[in-house]
Amino acid sequence: MADTEWGFSTEQVHAGIEPDGGHGARITPVYLSNGFLFADFDQARERFAGEDEGYYYTRYGNPTIAAVERKLAGLEHGVDALAVASGQAALTIAFLTLLRQGDHVVSARSIYEGTRGLLREEFARFGITASFVDDPNDAAALAAALQPNTRAVFVESIPNPGNEVPDLEFVARVAHEHGVPLIVDNTLGTPYHVRPIDFGADVVVHSTSKFLSGHGSAIGGAIVDAGRVANYTKNARTLAGRFGPTLSPFNAFLLQHGIETLSLRMRQQSANALEIATWLEGRPDVASVAYGGLASNPHHANAERYLTGGYGAVFAFTLRGGQPAAESLINRVRLWSRMTHLGDVRSLILHPASTTHTHLTPAELTENGIEPGTIRLSVGIEDAADLIADLEQALDRHGHE
Ligand SMILES: Cc1ncc(COP(=O)(O)O)c(C=O)c1O
């Protein structure tokens, strides 16, 4: 179990692991069993009543999934965690544990488009509304957005692609002054760079498909509970059991493996990202680089304050040549993968305006800092020199063939 004296790298390997009583397996095995035997009549009754902590049906709990839940709770400084089938499922369950018809959410404007769609379109169908604040660090704007029926405030620790790192302590304070919990999506920060609960977050959400799994092979999600909202995980687990987005025990096993090397990967990926962002900033064909780790970035002060050990590995930059230059770069890279995914050991490249953000109006694209020449990078663990050389050959060939 987690030891409060352990450093992050020790904890990522050992936290949450309980010795296997059966065969002494060192690694928590994949328990691919939908159900679990009851010793007798009374034990069956006790498990359903929650009087016996044993498992009964994987949709409500499973030893492989529980091991990764304990590890995530430890790494995020939470008291409990719930793993589910995807990041999107984690967001859905996290919000719906707090919200009902007629309720309202205040969210930062700069968030993952899937979350924005969920809040704006899907929840609206069930009578839950959302307001989006351009700058969650603006006290007046945040206070003006909060309504008597607001039941959650939501931000991301490192928004993509703009890297507008929020002032977590401030946002938590304002939310709490209004009696509202703060939910933070820490997918891009990961607990290696930031533990939002330490700064006042009440609930932390992850797409574990990204950096936590790390290898692009297991979709998953998680919710970590700071222990400040009464019965939060218990209610979330009941809701998840009823809605049904269960994490496969096999994906939980892959996630467990991924987390064991999180610090090593984040250190390398964030260092690579800083090197690439710095190099891009010096190129004449690059108009701007939206990386919080750069001293020139308007969000650098918050990045410095809240992120430790690096500034993350996902950011955007904008080419002066607009969409033709972006198309040329995307088509000419050889090492970077053209993909809509994040946090992989492989480096990934994407053109947001024609893919993830294609449904936005030109005005919304501008609001989100996305121009025709904007490119998003998710930097992997490869050698930075190779990643830069590949971008360089692709950029230099634009207009010369
Ligand atoms: C910040 C963030 N949160 C949540 C999600 C959704 O996660 P998933 O793809 O695991 O459903 C994503 C996916 O890109 C994301 O970037």
CA distance 387 to 347: 8
Residue 240 to residue 92: CA distance in whole angstroms: 9
Structure tokens at 101: 């018809």
| pLDDT tens-digit map of 328-369 | 999 999 999 999 999 999 999 999 999 999 999 999 899 889
Ligand 1 pocket, 344 CB below 6 A?
no
112 Cα to the center of ligand 1, angstroms:
7
Cα 260 to ligand 1 centre (Å): 21
User: Measured over all CA atoms, what is the biggest interatomic distance in the chain, rounded to whole angstroms?
Assistant: 77
**Spatial separation of the C-alpha atoms in residues 142 and 367, rounded to whole Å:** 18
87 CA → ligand 1 middle, Å: 5
Residue 400 is predicted with a pLDDT of 74
Mean pLDDT by runs of 10 across the 401 residues of the chain is 76 89 88 97 95 95 97 98 98 98 97 96 97 95 96 97 96 97 98 98 98 97 98 97 98 98 98 98 98 97 98 98 98 98 98 94 90 98 98 90 66
Q: At a CB cut-off of 8 Å and minimum separation 6, what does 392 contact? A: none
pLDDT at site 288: 97
Report the relative pairing of strands 104-108 and 129-133 from DSSP bridges: parallel
Residue 269 Cα, ligand 1 centroid: separation in angstroms? 18
Q: Which tokens belong to 93?
A: 């369950």
pTM of the prediction? 0.97
Q: Using the mean position of ligand 1's atoms as its centre, give its distance from the Cα of residue 284 in Å.
A: 33
Specify the pLDDT at position 44: 97
Residue 260 has a CB neighbour count (10 Å cut-off) of: 17
If you measure from the C-alpha of residue 247 to the centroid of ligand 1, how many angstroms do you get, rounded to a whole number? 15
Give the span between the Cα atoms of 125 and 352, in whole angstroms. Answer: 27
Probe target for ligand 1 pocket from 187, 188, 204, with the most ligand atoms within 8 Å of CB = 187
Q: What's the confidence (pLDDT) of residue 5?
A: 82
User: How many angstroms is it from 185 CA to the middle of ligand 1?
Assistant: 9
How far is Cα of residue 73 from the mean position of the Cα atoms in its chain?
15
Please indicate whether residue 390, judged by its CB atom, sits closer than 6 Å to ligand 1: no
What distance in angstroms lies between residue 42's CA and the mean position of ligand 1's atoms? Answer: 42
Residue having the nearest C-alpha atom to atom 16 of ligand 1: 112
- What is the pLDDT at residue 401? 66
Q: Are 185 and 157 in contact (CB under 8 A)?
A: yes
Q: Which residues contact 236 (CB under 8 A, 6 or more apart)?
A: 82, 93, 94, 97, 223, 225
State residue 2's pLDDT score: 47
Residue 221 CA, closest ligand 1 atom number? 10
Question: Would you state the pLDDT for residue 198?
Answer: 98
Nearest CA, atom 10, ligand 1? 87
CB distance 219 to ligand 1 below 6 Å: yes
Q: Is 373 in the pocket of ligand 1 (CB under 6 A)?
A: no
User: What number does the ligand 1 atom closest to the CA of 91 have?
Assistant: 4
Of the candidates 159, 50, 68, 146, the residue with the CA atom closest to the CA atom of residue 106 = 146
pLDDT tens by residue, 181-216? 999 999 999 999 999 999 999 999 999 999 999 999
